[in-house]
Amino acid sequence: MNQKKRIACIGECMIELQQHHDGRLQQSFGGDTLNTAVYLSRELGELARVDYVTALGDDSFSDAMCQGWAAEGIGLELVQRLPGRLPGLYCIQTDARGERRFLYWRNEAAVRDCFTSLAAGPILEALKGYDVLYFSGITLAVLGESGRSKLLAMVSEARQRQALIVFDNNYRPRLWASVEQARAAYREVLPQVDLALLTLEDEQALFAYSDVEAVFEAYRGTPEVVLKRGAESCLVRGAGGAFDVPAQRVDKVVDTTAAGDSFSAAYLASRLRGESPEQAAQAGHRLASRVIQYPGALIPRD
């Protein structure tokens, strides 16, 4: 990179409660785009400025989130603090067999007003000047119809100004009123995407694609497409051709949380450094293979 890139990651971070089978609760924070923002900041260091874009409350949990992000070098200038509001919350319940169940409380989360609040106008205008905009299918869902419309209008203008638009498909059915609503939102954003970081399982769950070729056909107008397939190789198609890159073998998987988020961060960081798509996919697999050997989304910095 010839100059320091300005990257904005747009989405939601939530209060996370982990309930163990004996009833113990452990509290932390979690969010797909936040995980990617942290790993991007770690990967790029002084080569880029990574800002997080969301809305929080004025409570102690929101304070703690911001303190943690700042410690990771994440810029907070585009984080709104809405009086009287709270972040979303979810609980992971783990039974004696290790099976997990997720419960969510997010209908009143502050992020739903991220792009409809009084302060949203200047933030949307500022985002048009960023070099890279990163968001996910979860971002599309939690913003609601009005916020989503404002996001897509901003993204269109930013792309006209040569911003790189990066989209991770993360599809969570329970966040949408219907599968038809989700499909419409994804199809609306697709023409604006330069780099699509997709999980095959999510694409099949949302669009019922029969195979990988059907996925790539749906994204044929996207300049660069990466299809993540868990422990299998990832598939990459773009101007440099089509190829697959094997995943790295891991003898003991501890926790797959943020495997896809970290892959996306390392892939994007590598591409921004000028490396090839194949090198970027290798970097993605390397980081994801380390992340899944630790509990939680964010592994120790060392």
Q: Render pLDDT for 27-78 as a digit per residue (tens, 0 to 9).
A: 989 899 999 999 999 999 999 999 999 999 999 999 999 999 999 999 999 9
Over residues 156-214, the pLDDT tens digits come to 999 999 999 999 999 999 999 999 999 999 999 999 999 999 999 999 999 999 999 99
Domain positions in the chain are 5-291
Q: For position 213, what pLDDT does the model report?
A: 95
Q: Is pLDDT of 219 > 60?
A: yes
Over residues 87-115, the pLDDT tens digits come to 999 887 866 665 667 788 887 899 999 99
Mean pLDDT along residues 121-134: 98
Answer whether 221's CB lies under 8 Å from 196's CB. no
Q: For position 22, what pLDDT does the model report?
A: 81
Q: For position 1, what pLDDT does the model report?
A: 62
Mean pLDDT along residues 242-263: 89
* Per-residue confidence band for 14, with pLDDT thresholds at 50, 70 and 90: very high
* Rounded Cα distance, 63 and 75, in Å: 14
* Per-residue confidence band for 2, with pLDDT thresholds at 50, 70 and 90: low
Arithmetic mean of pLDDT over the chain: 93
Give the fold, CATH level 3, of 5-291. Answer: UDP-N-acetylmuramoyl-L-alanine:D-glutamate ligase (3.40.1190)
Q: For position 97, what pLDDT does the model report?
A: 63
**CA atoms within 13 Å, Cβ hemisphere of 147:** 25
Backbone angles phi, psi at 12, to 5 degrees: -130, 135
Place of tokens 């991007």: 40
Strands 224-228 and 234-238: antiparallel
Q: For position 200, what pLDDT does the model report?
A: 96
Q: How many residues does the chain have?
A: 302
**Catalytic site residues?**
261
pTM: 0.94
